[in-house]
Chain A
Amino acid sequence: MTIVNAVLQGIFLGAFYAVLACGLSIMFGVMRIINLAHGDIAVLGAYVVFVIVQGTGMSPFVAFVVALPVMIVLGYLLQLTILERSLKSGILTPLLATFGLSIVIQNLLLIKFSPDVRSLGGEAGAVTTSSWQVTSGLSVSALGIVILVVAVLVFGALQLFLSRTRAGWMMRATADDADAAELAGIDSRGVYARATALAVAIAALGGLFLAIRSVFDPLSGPTQLIFAFEAVVIGGMGRLWGTLLGGLALGVAQTLGAQVNPEYSALSGHLLFLAVLVVRYGGLRLSFRAAR
Chain B
Amino acid sequence: MRVQRWTRTSKLFTGATVAIAVLLAAVPLVFDPDVVQKLTILLYLVLLAAMWNALAGYGGLLSVGQQAFIGIGAYGTVFFTGLGVSPYPAMVLAMLAAGLISVPISFIALRLRAAQFAIGMWVIAEAISIVVRLDQNLGAGTGISLIQLNQYAPNFRQAYTFWLALAFTVIFLSALFFLLRSPLGLSLQAIRDDEDAARSLGVRVASRKRLLFVLAGFGCGAAGVIIGANTLFIEPGSIFSVQWSAYMIFMVLVGGLGTFEGPILGAILLFGIQTTFTQGGPWYLVGLGATAALFALALPRGIWGTLEERLGLRLLPVGYRAVEKKGEERTA
* A residues apposed to B, CB below 8 Å: 28, 33-34, 36, 82, 85-86, 89-93, 95-104, 106-108, 110-111, 222, 225-226, 229-230, 233, 237, 263, 266-267, 270-271, 273-274, 277-278, 281-282, 286, 290
Contacts and interface: CB of A to CB of B under 8 A. Distances in A.
Contacts of A274: 108, 120, 123-124, 127
Nearest to B56: A92
Interface stretch (B15-23, B28-36, B80-88, B291-299): B291-299
A270 B282 contact: no
Interface stretch (B111-119, B220-228, B261-269, B323-331): B111-119
Contact of A95 (B62, B283, B289): B62
List 4 A-B pairs, minimum CB-CB distance, nearest first. Answer: A100-B293, A103-B289, A34-B115, A96-B296
B123 A273 contact: yes
Interface centre among B124, B130, B134 (most CB of A within 10 A): B130
A60 B290 CA distance: 31
21 contacts: A92-B60, A95-B118, A96-B62, A96-B249, A96-B296, A100-B289, A101-B289, A102-B289, A107-B286, A107-B289, A229-B119, A229-B123, A237-B116, A263-B130, A266-B130, A267-B127, A270-B123, A270-B130, A274-B124, A282-B111, A290-B206
A285 B177 CA distance: 35
B285 interface: yes
B91 interface: no
Given A263-B130, A274-B127, 9 more contacts: A34-B119, A36-B119, A89-B297, A90-B300, A95-B115, A97-B296, A101-B293, A237-B116, A290-B206
A116 to B, nearest CB: 14
B127 A271 contact: yes
B293 A96 contact: yes
A233 B114 contact: no
B242 interface: yes
Interface of B: 56, 60, 62, 64, 107-108, 111-112, 114-116, 118-120, 122-124, 126-127, 130-131, 133-134, 206, 242, 245-246, 249, 253, 282-283, 285-286, 288-294, 296-297, 300
Nearest to A282: B111
Given A96-B253, A100-B292, A266-B130, A33 B115 contact: yes
A274 B128 CA distance: 12
B283 A100 contact: no
A278 B111 CA distance: 8
Given A89-B300, A96-B296, A271-B127, A263 B290 contact: no
Given A102-B289, A104-B293, A226 B300 contact: no
B286 A104 contact: yes
Contacts of B206: 290
Contacts of A282: 107-108, 111
A270 B127 contact: yes
Given A85-B297, A93-B300, A267 B114 contact: no
B57 to A, nearest CB: 10
Contacts of A96: 62, 249, 253, 292-293, 296
Contacts of A102: 289
Contacts, number: 126
B131 A267 contact: yes
Nearest to A227: B123
B61 to A, nearest CB: 9
A106 B281 CA distance: 12
B219 to A, nearest CB: 20
Nearest to A89: B300
Contacts of A233: 116
Contacts of A267: 127, 130-131
Nearest to A99: B249
Given A93-B297, A108-B282, A222-B242, A34 B118 contact: yes
Given A34-B118, A104-B293, A110 B282 contact: yes
Contacts of A86: 296-297
B249 to A, nearest CB: 6
A104 B289 contact: yes
A99 B64 contact: yes
A110 B289 CA distance: 14
Contacts of A270: 123-124, 126-127, 130
A112 B111 CA distance: 40
B249 A286 contact: no
Given A97-B297, A226-B123, A237-B116, A103 B285 contact: yes
B190 to A, nearest CB: 16
Contacts of B283: 107, 111
A225 B64 CA distance: 13
Nearest to A85: B297
A42 to B, nearest CB: 15
A239 to B, nearest CB: 14
Given A99-B64, A99-B249, A263 B134 contact: yes
A103 B297 contact: no
Contacts of A99: 64, 245-246, 249, 289, 292-293
B111 A100 contact: no
A101 B62 CA distance: 16
